Structure 1
């Protein structure tokens, strides 16, 4: 197997970049850029996630139907509000490419191709943050409610019920002790409004967790080599003049919890 003469120097630069960017100190610096406005953008981006998935799947479908122009157009649409954290990461990546170029080991790609690759890379990292949040939601459901909660929708019901039950016990006319026994035997019923507001609150909380989930996910991906391999794949695609995939697998995984919630809801509705 032949190795390009740029492989070793480039790999050294990749390792240097991921250590500096995603180590504990690096990710703290990166997430400092998220304050304060990314906390406002986060809930909006969560709501835009289904649209992002739909657009990317449509781009893939257009490619399969040989509508290349439509696939390219859809694939290059930016759906999410660009966060300050993403801007900082993209700036760091441009500095990384400048360093590669200075050493003569940069991919022979145009600025537009590099910008598209950087944008796709940043979106993929954001998807990993969403996956981290989904895992936290699942863990919370298992620890608190002893049930699998793949997404916010499935967690909203137990949380709303817990709150309604606690409120009903506290307001029971004969005292909370008797109220606890009464509502233990006859659980309070949830209103649609209670369920809606619980879901709304959890969505907002999950979006804030997602904003800072990289504080946990980045070092883990650094230690396991995921960040290095992802960056290497991006450079290899640029070397081969391949456009970024219409949909990285991380985006599908990020939506897996929501899709699981929807599937469970449809199943319960049709039973």
Structure 2
């Protein structure tokens, strides 16, 4: 391919991606506003409730593959880096699949099975007569595979955001109900277990509630390890249900703060670099790292309470 044709190809591609960026604000309003996210999360009814906690458990492995890809890039092991980035560690939820479909069909306007046959990228290239013989060559060079990989990383951020939303909700519940910091299940469970143990001991005290309160003030009831484990399991089950629908709360807030717009623009930047071959920018799922920081905070608070107890 001569330099002039290559420049025309890249120019047509950049024109296509520029139009995608113009569509981002409207796409966010339609899909991540309150009405849009309610419609999106009706797909969560079903197996997503079970997949949500599994994705939480798989998130450290996801981060490990992405860090491994960065390390492979640093030593110029491009094949290893590409292989690691292509691993889709997180389980695909129904909400994630619907989000991917909407991005492909409505925002990128690319073919998506029976959902849509529109191909705005091919149309942009066809607008350049000199490029018509090269369209098939360029579009068959793994573009669809790379788009799918980038979308997988993008929709994977929803799992991390759901974790953070759950943690913030737990933090708020602990602050309001127990006047203490509880950034997760591990730090909330001991406090809740102690309250349940106190209430059970008070109800079972033979001399009545008033004397029971005095007695338990002098000799506090202590939750058994089994009771604490049971509370942890119950909170995890409740948290998995909450996480599956956490986007109903998180999406409008992220839209208002401009987070969805910036994240989609980063995705489009990464796809544009994939197409032009410049390789300057990639899509990094930063939310997973923030979620792990909140996990560490939760574990730290729980450990502190154990030593204090």
The equivalent of 1:98 in structure 2 is: 109
Say if 2:203 is the partner of 1:185. no
How far apart are the structure 2 equivalents of 1:157 and 1:34?
Answer: 30
TM-score (norm 1): 0.87
- Greater displacement, 258-267 / 21-30: 258-267
Distance 1:265 1:216, change over 3 A: closer
Kept in 2, the 8 Å contact 1:46–1:207? The answer is no
The equivalent of 1:71 in structure 2 is: 81
The equivalent of 1:262 in structure 2 is: 299
Unaligned runs of 5+ residues in structure 2 are: 1-13, 111-117, 126-138
The equivalent of 1:112 in structure 2 is: 145
Deviation at 1:244, TM superposition (A): 4.2
How far apart are the structure 2 equivalents of 1:192 and 1:67?
Answer: 48
How far apart are the structure 2 equivalents of 1:73 and 1:132?
Answer: 31
- Greater displacement, 255-264 / 170-179: 255-264
Pairs within 5 Å for 1:98-247: 98=109, 101-102=119-120, 104=123, 110-241=143-274, 242=279, 244-245=282-283
How far apart are the structure 2 equivalents of 1:125 and 1:114?
Answer: 18
1:210-262 Cα deviation digits (max 9, x unpaired): 111111111111122211111111111111124744x5221111122211233
Kept in 2, the 8 Å contact 1:116–1:244? The answer is no
Deviation at 1:267, TM superposition (A): 6.5
- Greater displacement, 50-59 / 217-226: 50-59
1:123-182 Cα deviation digits (max 9, x unpaired): 012211211111111111111221212221111110111111111111112122221221
How far apart are the structure 1 equivalents of 2:218 and 2:85?
Answer: 54
Unaligned runs of 5+ residues in structure 1 are: none
The equivalent of 2:20 in structure 1 is: 10
How far apart are the structure 1 equivalents of 2:307 and 2:221?
Answer: 25
How far apart are the structure 2 equivalents of 1:144 and 1:115?
Answer: 44
TM-score (norm 2): 0.77
Deviation at 1:19, TM superposition (A): 1.3
How far apart are the structure 1 equivalents of 2:282 and 2:156?
Answer: 11
Distance 1:206 1:75, change over 3 A: same
How far apart are the structure 1 equivalents of 2:71 and 2:154?
Answer: 21
Larger Rg: 2
| SS of 2:44 mapped into structure 1 | coil
Deviation at 1:46, TM superposition (A): 2.7
- Greater displacement, 65-74 / 33-42: 65-74
How far apart are the structure 1 equivalents of 2:16 and 2:79?
Answer: 33
Distance 1:178 1:74, change over 3 A: farther
- Greater displacement, 203-212 / 44-53: 44-53
Pairwise CA RMSD of aligned residues? 2.8
Q: Which has the higher contact order (CA 8 A, sep 6+)?
A: 1
